[in-house]
Amino acid sequence: GFFSRTWWASSYHHTEELEAYLKGVHAAYPSLTHLHSIGRSVEGRDLWVLALGRFPTHHKIGIPEFKYVANMHGDETVGREILLHLIDFLVTSYRRDPVITRLLNNTRIHIMPTMNPDGFEATKVPDCYYTRGRYNKNGEDLNRNFPDAFENNNASIQPETQAVMNWIKNETFVLSANLHGGALVASYTFDNVTGSLKGYSRSPDDDVFIHLAKTYSFNHASMYKGMGCDRQTFPEGITNGYSWYQLEGGMQDYNYVWGQCFEITLELSCCKYPPADQLEKFWRDNKAALIEYIKQVHLGVKGQVTDRNGNPIPNVIVEAKGRPHVCPYRTNEHGEYFLLLLPGTYVINATVPGFKSMLKTVEIPDNTGNFSALKQDFSFSEVSIRSRAASCPKTPLYQDLELASAATKPTLHILVLMTVMLVAFK
């Protein structure tokens, strides 16, 4: 690798070593990597992101954006270190390993080793159990700090959270994972719920989420066995977030509802902050899973929506029939959409708000091995204007649906909302 084996095993990378490492990688692989800070922590530490790919500095039409975020709980440290290993593995495999070469040629991979550098530094020594270092400098739990789709989240948004929210707004992320410790399981959205759902908070894309979580657990050395920690068991090493325990303001629900990005939460170690000499083994246990999971960004269907002059149309609603998102997924500034779907037949509905919809039936093959989702473009020959910007309010959208359905005089608007809700919670 980029640095010697012994150096890896000797100790954790604290702030200075982490920065030196990332800058060293970028200096050694300048055309394959892009290093930038998306903001600063409360104590002023940079929130570093290394983007990797054939075009690391900017988005390219058709190339999906992927991200890994670790250490948002400062005392959960395994993810922070194995992402540094992953970076080393990716850069040194490019042009040597054909699979990694194709992966980097066709994917832009963003890696944020720590979202809570202050919490990490506040955790003085390895400790398997909960410490104050979990929180940011203001004592806030960053994985309870995002707007929540079900509840008013009254926590004040922290600088680390705001930086990630801005970053999500900036990039067309399609798939991601956030890395934690203290358990061994892949957990998927939703984490919160409204109404009575009998212990399972199902999203319209539940089948895709189960596939994503299993991709990780079955490619991990032992997660799929479901033994968990402390006699906790998780069949096949996966769980619905809410079924495990409900939480408000989590990052994965935020990504899915407002970021148009499917995110799962990976709990990678029973011990939150294990001794440094175990890190090499954690990397080996997770290596295949980390790579296979990134490949899933090529599931499903993608394409561009253009008007009669061939210009891209932003903010077109593009969704698969039967899977409406509470905040409808829309095309980005380049008129692009990406929908993660399992192989099968789907009707894709593209709607320019104010104009009619266009429906196309697609047969999605199992093509993640091809490093490209199925391509399906839409051309609106009668449209020659750019639709205006649209966004969803950061309010509890599912609660709004419930209130709407409880109204006494249903209007057409409310009937549509009810239909959405019935499908979402069936």
Which of the residues are catalytic? Answer: 267
Residue of this chain nearest to Zn ion (CB atom)? 180
Q: Can you tell me which of 41, 123, 187, 349 binds ligand NAG, judged by CB under 6 A? A: 349
Task: Say which residues have a Cβ less than 8 Å from residue 318's Cβ, sequence separation at least 6.
Answer: 305, 329, 330, 331, 337, 339, 348, 349, 350, 351, 378
Q: Output phi, psi for 222, to 5 deg.
A: -145, -10
Distance (Å, rounded) from C-alpha 102 to C-alpha 344? 25
Contact 143, 250 (CB under 8 A): yes
Distance (Å, rounded) from C-alpha 119 to C-alpha 134? 6
DSSP SS3 for 86: helix
Compare residues 33 and 161 and give the one whose CB is closer to Zn ion. Answer: 161
Q: Can you tell me which of 31, 138, 233, 370 binds ligand NAG, judged by CB under 6 A? A: 370
* Assigned token pair, 214: 């299993």
Q: Segment contacting ligand NAG (CB under 6 A): 132-140, 252-260, 359-367, 380-388?
A: 359-367
When asked if residue 167 is in the footprint of ligand NAG (CB under 6 A), the reply is yes
Q: Nearest Cα to 341, choosing from 367, 379, 305, 306? A: 367
What residues from 24 to 53 belong to the interface with ligand NAG (CB under 6 A)?
Answer: 38-39
Q: Nearest Cα to 293, choosing from 197, 378, 176? A: 176
| Smallest gap from residue 276 Cβ to ligand NAG (A) | 31
Q: Can you tell me which of 26, 73, 302, 330 binds Zn ion, judged by CB under 5 A? A: 73
Q: Can you tell me which of 19, 35, 54, 229 binds ligand NAG, judged by CB under 6 A? A: 54
Q: Can you tell me which of 92, 93, 105, 219 binds ligand NAG, judged by CB under 6 A? A: 105
When asked if residue 166 is in the footprint of ligand NAG (CB under 6 A), the reply is yes
Distance (Å, rounded) from C-alpha 420 to C-alpha 369? 33
Compare residues 279 and 373 and give the one whose CB is closer to ligand NAG. Answer: 373
| Smallest gap from residue 271 Cβ to ligand NAG (A) | 25
x-marked contacts with Zn ion along 168-207 as a string, rule CB under 5 A = ------------x---------------------------
The structure tokens 């499917």 sit at 262
| Smallest gap from residue 266 Cβ to ligand NAG (A) | 21
Helix pair 78-93, 98-106: axis angle to 10 deg:
100
Compare residues 151 and 236 and give the one whose CB is closer to ligand NAG. Answer: 151
When asked if residue 318 is in the footprint of ligand NAG (CB under 6 A), the reply is no
Q: Can you tell me which of 46, 76, 307, 336 binds Zn ion, judged by CB under 5 A? A: 76
Using alpha carbons, list the distances in angstroms from residue 213 to 161, 201, 408.
24, 15, 40
Distance (Å, rounded) from C-alpha 330 to C-alpha 324? 12
Contacts with ligand NAG by CB under 6 A lie at 38-39, 54, 98, 101-102, 105, 150-152, 154, 163, 166-167, 170, 192-194, 246-248, 317, 321, 328, 349, 351, 357, 359, 365-367, 370
